[in-house]
């Protein structure tokens, strides 16, 4: 069985959202599965000295225009959230709370959170909102709120973000397949080709 | 006649080099021509607060790996220059010296300079090197060296870089077609599609 693809994303990243809608199908078409890793780019930007795209002059305006264009091109439901760039700590922790014991539920929750933020434009920063969204999948709200403060869950998110830095991840989305890195939604065609050809 | 495509690039940008090898053919297939604008990203980074990709931790290593991969994929001749990121002031000025009176010669010189830097790995920073490369196209070395210090040529490069900022350009390569902006070598497929469909 071929190795899974590692998919790194920040819940604040619209390009990560667009990638999340496609990566599992893309991987499956090559007999691969995908491990989803929500990470905190804010922590990574401290290493790289960068700022969120949205907060960079010129680039922020380009991004705002570009994501609408991608949504129209791909047919992805999209609403630019007033809360952008959102704080993805609670959302990411909720996903890691489920990742080991229930990986498919973790992925389902990640999709639901991304959808709430970028399709419905909701602010998924508050723990209460994350718990509410998790509840729509049958999770107990109180259990989710407790998990968001669980030191083990907190450590896991930190460790995943540190681990991502250790593998060279500096943006979202970021894919690693068989140690080959691909950065950006706009590199998914190249990733597809890499998987089809075994690399070049 | 449809409007030309504006193609902005920094001579230090390997992605600009890869784009330069393809943009005129891409444009021609849609009945368009291309205006080449060498610019100085260093000046633009002062506006956006960014650093050259190569000097960013993690991203610099990714870039170094990525450009080799693109060269193998596209068949573009490529040598990672020891002088990267090169100072493109002299090269850019030489191009603008020719742009108005001899636009095709300007483009030819830009290609030759990019080739010297990224195919042969030469340092195209020094004025003498730029004059030497221009001489291979029949230009007089002394005339080129004089042009590189001509206040009008200097002003032109500054004005082009400022003008690029005014149009929202923040990276290389950057394309603008009918006011629609596209950033990055990896967006040339989207640009192609935009030209084919008239946009969406």
* A96-141 pLDDT per residue, tens: 999 999 999 999 999 999 999 999 999 999 999 999 999 999 999 9
Nearest-CB residue to A62 (from B51, B181, B190): B181
Which chain B positions have a beta carbon within 8 Å of A184's beta carbon? 186
A106 Cβ neighbours under 8 A, 6+ residues apart: A36, A95, A96, A97, A98, A99
Q: Is A31 exposed, middle or buried (0-12, 13-18, 19+ CB in 10 A)?
A: exposed
Question: Any idea what DSSP says for residue A187?
Answer: G
The torsion defined by the Cα of A49, A54, A56 and A61, in degrees rounded to 10, comes to 160
CA distance A153 to A148: 7
pLDDT band at B8 (very low <50, low <70, confident <90, very high): very high
pLDDT at site A14: 98
pLDDT digits (tens, 9 = 90+) for A16-51: 999 999 999 999 999 999 999 999 999 999 988 888
Q: Do A165 and B58 touch (CB under 8 A)?
A: yes
Tokens read off for A98: 């489920």
Cβ atoms of A40 and A88 closer than 8 Å: yes
Assess A192–B contact: CB distance below 8 Å, yes or no.
Answer: no
Chain A nearest-CA distance from B58, in A, is 5
Question: Are residues B165 and A58, on separate chains, in Cβ contact within 8 Å?
Answer: yes
Mean pLDDT, chain B, rounded, equals: 97
Domains of chain B: residue spans and CATH: 5-197 (3.40.30.10)
Rounded-to-integer distance, Cα B135 and Cα B128, Å: 10
Q: Is the pLDDT of residue B1 over 80?
A: no
Asked if B95 and B109 count as a contact pair (C-beta separation under 8 A), the reply is: yes
pLDDT band at B161 (very low <50, low <70, confident <90, very high): very high
Interface check for B60 against chain A (CB to CB < 8 A): the answer is no
Contact A170 B57 (CB under 8 A): yes
State chain A's mean pLDDT as an integer.
97
Average pLDDT of A65-79? 98
CB of B159 within 8 Å of a chain A CB? The answer is no
Give the distance from residue B148's alpha carbon to the nearest chain A alpha carbon, in angstroms: 30
User: Mean pLDDT, to the nearest integer, of B128-151?
Assistant: 98
Percent of chain A with pLDDT over 70: 100
Task: Give me the pLDDT at residue A187, please.
Answer: 98
pLDDT of residue B63: 96
Contact status, residue A18 vs residue A74, Cβ threshold 8 Å: yes
Q: Does residue A71 surpass a pLDDT of 90?
A: yes
| Closest residue of chain B to A164, computed from CA coordinates | B58
pLDDT of residue B165: 97
B166-176 mean pLDDT = 97
Active site residue B13: yes
Report the chain A residue with the minimal C-alpha distance to residue B183: A62
pLDDT score for A53: 86
Long-range contacts of B76-82 (CB under 8 A, 24+ apart): B76/B17, B76/B18, B76/B21, B76/B119, B77/B115, B77/B119, B78/B14, B78/B118, B78/B119, B79/B118, B79/B119, B79/B120, B79/B121, B80/B14, B80/B121, B81/B117, B81/B118, B81/B121, B81/B122, B81/B123, B82/B121, B82/B123
Catalytic position from the list B13, B20, B92, B172: B13
Q: Which of A45, A57, A58 to mutate to test the interface with B (most CBs of B within 10 A)?
A: A58
The answer on pLDDT for A1 being more than 80 is no
Is A52 a residue whose pLDDT tops 90?
Answer: no
**B46 at the A interface (CB within 8 A)?**
no
Residue B50 has pLDDT above 90, yes or no: no
Q: pLDDT tens for residues A139-197? A: 999 999 999 999 999 999 999 999 999 999 999 999 999 999 999 999 999 999 999 99
Distance CA B98, CA B105 (A): 7
Residues of chain A found within 8 Å of residue B39, distances taken between Cβ atoms: none
Helix (H) or strand (E) holding B11: none
pLDDT of residue B192: 98
Whether A58 contacts chain B with CB within 8 A: yes
Residue B49 has pLDDT above 90, yes or no: no
B128 CB-side CA count, 13 A: 0
Which pLDDT band, with edges at 50, 70 and 90, does B53 fall under?
confident
Is the ipTM of this structure higher than 0.85? yes
Which of B61, B168, B200 is closest, CB to CB, to A73?
A: B200
In this structure, the strands spanning B174-177 and A34-38 are unpaired
The pLDDT assigned to B51 comes to: 85
């Amino acid at each position: 069985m071929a190795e899974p693809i590692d998919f790194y994303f920040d819940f604040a990243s619209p390009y990560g959202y667009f990638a999340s809608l496609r990566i599992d199908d893309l991987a499956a078409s090559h007999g691969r599965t995908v491990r989803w890793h929500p990470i905190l780019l804010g922590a990574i930007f401290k290493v790289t000295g960068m700022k969120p795209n949205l907060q960079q002059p010129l680039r922020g305006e380009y991004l705002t225009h570009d994501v609408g264009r991608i949504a129209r091109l791909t047919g992805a439901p999209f609403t630019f959230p007033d809360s952008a760039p959102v704080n993805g700590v609670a959302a990411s922790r909720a996903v890691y709370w489920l990742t080991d014991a229930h990986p498919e539920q973790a992925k389902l929750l990640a999709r639901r959170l991304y959808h709430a933020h970028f399709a419905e434009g909701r602010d998924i920063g508050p723990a209460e909102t994350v718990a509410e969204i998790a509840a729509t999948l049958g999770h107990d709200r109180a259990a989710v709120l407790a998990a968001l403060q669980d030191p083990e869950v907190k450590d896991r998110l930190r460790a995943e973000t540190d681990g991502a830095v250790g593998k060279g991840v500096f943006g979202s989305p970021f894919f690693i397949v068989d140690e080959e890195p691909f950065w950006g939604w706009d590199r998914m065609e190249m990733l597809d080709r890499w998987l089809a050809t075994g690399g070049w």
